[in-house]
Structure 1
Amino acid sequence: MGRFHLKIWQIMLGGALAVLLTGQIAPADAFHAVDADVMIFLFGMFVVGEALVSGGYLSCIAHRFFAGVKNPDRLVLCILFGAGILSALLMNDTLAVIGTPLVLALAAGRRISKKLLLLTLAFAITTGSVMSPIGNPQNLLIALHSGMASPFITFAVYLAVPTLACLGITYGVLRWTCRDDFQPRGWEEQPAPACDARKMIPAQVALAVILVLTLANVVASLVTVTMPVSLPLIAIGAALPVLILSEDRTAILRSIDWCTLVFFAAMFVLMASVWQTGFFQSMATDGMFTSVPALLGTSVVISQFISNVPFVALFQPLVQQAGSGTARLMALAAGSTIAGNLTILGAASNVIIIQNAEKQGETLTFFEFLKVGLPLTIIQIVIFAGWLAVVG
């Protein structure tokens, strides 16, 4: 806006302050609107993500994983499935922060287009995060507010297969739209990063806690159809080893993404105020919620204007009021998430990737992203619609 550059968290905070100061929502209602479970979960996952980076554990894992990958095709496939599956466990915004410098280093060492690997990372973490209740914030909102007894099982049954298919399709679309960037241009051996085993222990323990507690939930869901360990408890359980054992706990706490936490707190206040007006309820039609293809399309389009997390915060109650069933909730999760593959503005993780890339002199333009994202999103909508029609 002129000479002023406003960040997304500042815009959302301004909206929340506006409705508070103008009396559109009472302070008590605003306080209760902030979802403590979501805030606790995000805080815990941000602590773990920062520990993985600062302790050097992620760099060591990445070097071992990519050391022998010289061919551009193999590298893109490894990033797609590696980052995609990892985002289902660590949340896509976390992977956006820690993955950007990694792919830029890989591109420089292998003389591959940096734009190609940035696009690959963005599409990988957006698409891969669809299949898990902890893969992204909007899935977390759906899992926590829908009353699902076993969200890990539900998301896996409805969304794992099409998500893996979409990751494979993403490679094909990248290969088609960016074919010139797949030409090999030489390769240089990269030195192994310095790995301090003692500093990596807290991050290793945190990652093990996430895996063990997630597995315990999955097993328990199969036996009792309940989730014994809540999602916020998983995140806090993983963050505690870092906060207790790490010598760098103060630096980690300073470095976590506090702005995103402010964004979510403000979003809850603003969306609660908007919900009280009945504006979106009056615009919504039954066709939006009873048809899976319509819900997928609506989610993708509207998320471009208000981003996917606020969209889910507003529309999930409408989907549930319509009594639309699990398949429609999964369509809401899938549509609002793959909206991030259409344009840069569709997901916060895209903005995070570009902001981090610009610090190192690289970027992606709106049309560079759209050139790949438009055909990719259309194909992915068809895949998810077809699968949900079968299982729903």
Structure 2
Amino acid sequence: MVQSFHSFEKIVASFVIIFLIGFLMLRTKQSKTPVWVVMALSSSIMVFSNLVPPDEIINSIDFEVILFLLGMFSIVAVIEQSGLLAYSISKIIKFAKNNSVYKISIFLSLGVGIFSAFLINDTLAFMGAPIIFALARVIKIDPKPLFFVMAFAITIGSVMSPIGNPQNMLITTQSGLKAPFLEFFLYLGIPTLLNLLITPIIILRSYRIKNDKKVEYLNTFEGEIKNKNDAVLGVLALLGIITALIVNDILSIGGNILFSNRGVIPFVVATLTYFFLSNPRNVLRGIDFGAIIFFITMFITMNGVWKSGLFQGLFNTLVPGPENVFESYFAIVFLSLTVSQFISNVPFTKLFTSYLILAGYTSNHTYAWLSLSMASTIAGNLTILGAASNIIILEGLESRYRFTTSFFEFLKLGVVVTLVNLAIYSPFLIFGAYIS
């Protein structure tokens, strides 16, 4: 009887995973159905099948991550609606005036990548289409290389910060890292900047674009600050969050931590910021509540998948104990890159963090958690389905400018870029693991 029940659990979990994979593979053609709707349906299946009993729903949700997202989405909405984000990016682009196509692409990569480390990366993706098309028109090249530069830069840049993307925050809250902000930048800062410099060169050379062309006129993408008061508040709030996280990390090294639940810091700062905004209701409308619903229902769905035991056999076979640094690093990277292509990187990260904790990985095994962060994030560079930001940029280009690229064209370039990314990140992480 018990065995048949476990079989039923695995059947349900398998159905949900296949359902999610099928949707993710077809979502570029079915954009009218948001991902959060499908994840919400998946969570309902888990509840109705009793893999996640109703009494366990609340305990399945990581509210620290939810509060983090609400706080960061609020601050990002302030910065975006005030016009500061568009203004900053237009200044970065104009700074490349009178330079070559290669320098412009590198400026774009560095600028977008650094922004992506401190703002939720999908926000920059929404601005991707107009930036790419404006630049391509003035430089007089195919928009595809610039699409790849921006898509890869958004993904790569978000690696080096615990607030750069949702999976990093998930790892931060689940792993118990003692000083995540400092550890992320110490291990991942330099290799991320190197990747942001090298990746656009790889892309332009793959499209055989020469480096002998100067661009004299670069004002096709104009950005202006619409509300100075809100722009200042947005900057102060973001600086406040970063400062609080760094101070909290420094204090935690000495055992005097202020916030053990770091995810509440952006939420607290955001709640204070709302009071001083010109129009807080407009900012609230700018929050991506679909993403919030996605994460709430994703936690429920992945709890059901975890309880079914569907992936434990695979993980047990491939992942050694934390004492085997070299082997575990490559196992974490391999699983992150492959499984993320099927169930997306955030659900994979939720599943895999649960496994690593069970397998004995603690906050002292910094290399393992940062390897997971790096690999699950750059999984978005491997295929067009690997990161939501890829889809967001491409959908904007398709709907506004009738531009598109195929799954296999992305894969062809993505394999090269991902391998180069790994070649740069790996020495830093492996060396850091042995000296820590």
Report the TM-score when normalising by structure 1: 0.91
Matched, 1:272 2:313: no
> Matches of 2:383 and 2:221 in 1, distance apart?
35
Q: Is the 8 A contact 2:65 2:169 kept in 1?
A: yes
Q: Describe the shift of the 1:193–1:383 C-alpha distance in structure 2 as closer, same or farther (beyond 3 A).
A: closer
Instruction: Pick the aligned partner of 2:411 from 349, 370, 382.
Output: 370
Give the letter for the 1:266 counterpart: T
State the distance in 2 between where 1:193 and 1:147 align. Answer: 43
Deviation per CA, 1:169-213, whole angstroms, max 9, x where unpaired? 31232132122386748654527847456x132233222222233
Partner of 2:372: 332
1:54 and 1:299 mapped to 2: Cα distance? Answer: 35
Contact 2:138 2:220 in 1 (8 A): no
Kindly state the Cα deviation for residue 378 of structure 1 after the two structures are TM-superposed.
1.4
Aligned residue number for residue 77 of structure 2:
50
Match of 1:208 in 2: 236
**Are residues 1:299 and 2:336 paired?**
yes
1:29 equivalent among 56, 75, 95: 56
For 1:379 and 1:87, the matched residues in 2 are separated by 20
Q: What SS is found at the alignment partner of 1:81? A: helix
Q: What is the alpha-carbon root mean square deviation over aligned residues?
A: 2.5
Partners of 2:312 and 2:332 in 1: CA distance: 15
CA contact (8 A) 1:149 1:227 kept: no
Which stretches in structure 2 are left out of the alignment for 5+ residues? 1-22, 322-327
Question: Is 1:391–2:432 an aligned residue pair?
Answer: yes
Give CA-to-partner distance per residue, 1:289-338, whole Å, 9 cap, x none.
54201211111011000000000100112122222422111111111011
- Check whether the contact 1:303–1:311 (CA below 8 A) recurs between aligned residues: yes
Q: Among 222, 238, 250, which residue is 1:222 paired with?
A: 250
User: Partner residue of 2:354?
Assistant: 317
Q: Residue deviations 1:136-190, cap 9 Å, x none?
A: 1111111011111211112122222222222223123213212238674865452
- Whether the 8 Å CA contact 1:340–1:347 is kept in 2: the answer is yes
Range with bigger deviation, 379-388 or 133-142:
379-388
Kept in 1: contact 2:251–2:258 (CA 8 A): no
1:354 correspondence with 2:391: no
Q: State the identity as a percent.
A: 34
Q: Write out aligned runs for 1:1-392 (5 A).
A: 6-70=33-97, 71-180=100-209, 184=213, 187-190=216-219, 193=222, 195-196=224-225, 199-225=227-253, 228-229=258-259, 230-240=261-271, 243-285=274-316, 287-290=318-321, 291-324=328-361, 325-361=365-401, 362-392=403-433
Structure of greater Rg: 2
Question: One-letter code of the match for 1:82?
Answer: G
Match for 1:228: what amino acid?
A: L
Residues 93 and 218 in structure 2, CA contact (< 8 A), matched pair in contact too: no
**Closer/same/farther in 2, CA of residues 302 and 188 from structure 1, 3 Å limit:** same
Query: By how many angstroms is 1:242 displaced?
Result: 5.2
Tell me how far 1:130 sits from its aligned partner. 0.9
Q: TM-score, normalised by structure 2?
A: 0.82
d(CA) in 1 for partners of 2:246, 2:330: 29
Give, as a single letter, the amino acid of the residue that structure 1 aligns with 2:239: L
Q: Distance in 2 between matches of 1:313 and 1:128?
A: 21
CA distance in 2, matches of 1:123, 1:200: 31
CA distance in 2, matches of 1:178, 1:329: 35
* CA separation of 1:258 and 1:380: change in aligned 2, threshold 3 A: same
User: Residue 157 of structure 2 contacts residue 196 of structure 2 at CA under 8 Å; is this kept in 1?
Assistant: yes
Q: Which amino acid aligns with 2:353?
A: Q
Give 1:52 deviation, angstroms: 2.2
When residues 189 and 171 of structure 1 are mapped into structure 2, their CA distance, relative to the original with a 3 A threshold, is closer
Deviation at 1:120, TM superposition (A): 1.0
**Rounded Cα–Cα distance in structure 2 between residues aligned with 1:122 and 1:350:** 6
The SS at the match of 2:319 is: helix
The letter of the residue matching 1:356 is G
Gaps of 5+ in 1: none
Number of aligned residues: 391
Give the counterpart letter for 1:269 in structure 2: I
CA 1:60 to 1:320, structure 2 compared with 1: closer, same or farther past 3 Å? same
Which deviates more from structure 2 when the two are superposed, residues 266-275 or residues 98-107?
A: 98-107
Distance 1:183 1:191 in 2: 22
Contact kept, 8 Å, 1:205 with 1:241, in 2: the verdict is no
Q: Distance in 2 between matches of 1:85 and 1:177?
A: 24
Deviation at 1:86, TM superposition (A): 1.4
Q: Which SS does the other structure have where 2:400 is aligned? A: coil
Deviates more, 1:333-342 or 1:145-154: 145-154
